[in-house]
Amino acid sequence: MSNVMIIYPYTFSVSVSCLIQLKYPPYISSNIPFLGHAVAFGKSPIDFLENAYEKYGPVFSFTMVGKTFTYLLGSDAAALIFNSKNEDLNAEDVYSRLTTPVFGKGVAYDVPNPVFLEQKKMLKTGLNIAQFKQHVPVIEKETKEYFKSWGDSGERNLFEALSELIILTASHCLHGKEIRNLLNEKVAQLYADLDGGFTHAAWLLPGWLPLPSFRRRDRAHREIKNIFYKVIRKRRQSGEREDDMVQTLLDVTYKDGRSLTDDEIAGMLIGLLLAGQHTSSTTSAWLGFFLARDKSIQEQCYAEQKAVCGEDLRPLNYDQLKDLNMLDRCLKETLRLRPPIMTMMRMARTPQTVAGYTVPPGHQVCVSPTVNHRLKDSWIESLEFKPDRYLQDNPTAGEKFAYVPFGAGRHRCIGENFAYVQIKTIWSTLLRLYEFDLIDGYFPTVNYTTMIHTPDNPVIRYKKRSH
Ligand code: HEM
């Protein structure tokens, strides 16, 4: 197909002589006005992208709901996003309409990127090894407590359970005991309403529309902030110090010496919880299903618990957690096959050159970890769950962005280490408690309708271990 400017849906002001030389990425046209490829993409985004990769190569564009997307597939093409400046490929332009109503003003994508980078640094100071050492017993205790209601055997929705549990563990570890103790059913509902702000509708539709889900999100935002304000003000007034994230954020300052306001702290606490909530609960659920599907791997993970922590399986600690290499590899492989963030996106503000093409301003430029993680050019037996592939030399050596479940560059995740601590502690506890099986061999299909691709009908069978 032709890449000549005249057929291209975007224009920008460059001289005609220059236009003739520009080569735009292959454009996958559609006969459907406005919606474009939205239906085919929405039904099965990975198939859509993989087919396009086969046909057009690593860089191509298409239109959905009036927006033109350019995907950069494979490690080399993806480098453009990860190495770019935020002024050129901008994150706020695409994420802020989703995140600002949920986290609030003054934080994350509502502020210029250099300010957000400072905020990320502040949050990172509270995510250190000394903290992780305290988190492990907290998460183990919360998990044991939560799963008491599962009894000795049964069939239950694993994803639902892990989502509920992870609000408790993440709030306890990332907010502190004081805020965790305020978590009851009403507050959990507020989080659910707030989380309801992360939908395709919120991303696509104007924020002023009087939709019930928008109103619930905005009310939940105000109410959760009020809860946080009380804790922050009490802490400020009493002068009492705790060893938690609230304290870290009360103590830190921006480079210019300014302290965080109560509103910024509250927004950062919301962001911290929600950034890790869906990502970690989906990953944990998929991990459970991979282990249930391959009983030999599950038994190796259980044997590893005994080998590392002792036959009597005493309470876990952080150092042991680090030595659980098999579980580590299983988690790594789960993040390869089911990375919760399927697409990272930026708005092209300036023309960008990649693989000999020019991507014009106005395109939403995307990288998909899901596709990169399964490219046959990069991975052997790419669709198989094979945790031992990481025992060999780096399977994708030389391809810097072949494995990017946590992103890379200036927008890289700050929660990776915490996510590993949390998920490995939860699964260590669960492996010690139960043996898991698929029900009649059913391994969940992927639900593509949610922003983070969750497992469909994620019910699992379990029975108590006799040890
Ligand atoms: C399995 C768990 C997680 C996964 C797979 C994950 C994945 C990601 C990815 C792919 C990005 C890059 C987004 C982009 O470039 O557009 C990101 C950024 C980020 N994540 Fe995570 N994340 C996880 C858990 C967490 C947790 C637990 C926290 C907080 C404690 C967190 C906080 C953040 C923050 C603050 C950013 C920075 C966004 C930016 O700078 O634009 N994440 N994460």
pLDDT digits (tens, 9 = 90+) for 412-454: 999 999 999 999 999 999 999 999 999 999 999 999 888 888 9
Evaluate: CB of 266 within 6 angstroms of ligand 1. Answer: no
User: Is the pLDDT assigned to residue 467 strictly greater than 80?
Assistant: no
Return the pLDDT at 20: 58
Domain-located, residue 237: yes
Domain-located, residue 30: no
Burial of 30 (0-12, 13-18, 19+ CB in 10 A): middle
Going from the Cα of 279 to the center of ligand 1, the distance in angstroms, rounded, reads 8
Return the pLDDT at 281: 95
Mean pLDDT confidence for 9-37: 74
Return the pLDDT at 368: 97
Backbone phi, psi, residue 50, to 5°: -65, -40
Domain-located, residue 1: no
250-262 per-position pLDDT tens digit:
999 999 999 999 9
Return the pLDDT at 15: 47
Domain-located, residue 409: yes
Return the pLDDT at 184: 86
Going from the Cα of 237 to the center of ligand 1, the distance in angstroms, rounded, reads 33
Query: What's the whole-model pTM score?
Result: 0.94
At residue 8 the predicted structure's pLDDT band, cuts being 50, 70 and 90, is very low
The mean predicted confidence, pLDDT, of the chain is 92
Going from the Cα of 341 to the center of ligand 1, the distance in angstroms, rounded, reads 9
Any idea what the CATH number is for the domain that residue 377 is in? 1.10.630.10
129-186 per-position pLDDT tens digit:
999 999 999 999 999 999 999 999 999 999 999 999 999 999 999 999 989 999 888 8
Evaluate: CB of 245 within 6 angstroms of ligand 1. Answer: no
d(CA 104, CA 375): 38
Going from the Cα of 291 to the center of ligand 1, the distance in angstroms, rounded, reads 25
At residue 204 the predicted structure's pLDDT band, cuts being 50, 70 and 90, is confident
User: Is the pLDDT assigned to residue 206 strictly greater than 90?
Assistant: no
Task: Give bridge partners of residue 346 from the DSSP assignment.
Answer: 365
At residue 287 the predicted structure's pLDDT band, cuts being 50, 70 and 90, is very high
Instruction: Read off the DSSP letter of residue 455.
Output: E
Mean pLDDT confidence for 243-248: 93
Contacts of 416 (CB under 8 A, 6+ apart): 406
- Residue 294's domain comprises 37-464
Domain-located, residue 253: yes
Domain-located, residue 12: no
Q: Beta 67-72 vs 364-367: how paired, if at all?
A: parallel
Return the pLDDT at 13: 44
d(CA 225, CA 302): 41
At residue 100 the predicted structure's pLDDT band, cuts being 50, 70 and 90, is very high
Return the pLDDT at 19: 52
342-391 per-position pLDDT tens digit:
999 999 999 999 999 999 999 999 999 999 999 998 999 999 999 999 99
Evaluate: CB of 171 within 6 angstroms of ligand 1. Answer: no
48-58 per-position pLDDT tens digit:
999 999 999 99
Q: Count up the domains in the chain and report the number.
A: 1
At residue 1 the predicted structure's pLDDT band, cuts being 50, 70 and 90, is very low
Whose tokens are 């989502």? That residue is 163
Residue bearing the bigger pLDDT, 7 or 100: 100
Domain-located, residue 32: no
User: Is the pLDDT assigned to residue 14 strictly greater than 50?
Assistant: no
Mean pLDDT confidence for 275-301: 96
Residue 413 is labelled as binding a ligand: yes
Domain-located, residue 2: no
Return the pLDDT at 424: 98
Evaluate: CB of 126 within 6 angstroms of ligand 1. Answer: no
At residue 201 the predicted structure's pLDDT band, cuts being 50, 70 and 90, is confident
d(CA 403, CA 75): 8
Contacts of 319 (CB under 8 A, 6+ apart): none
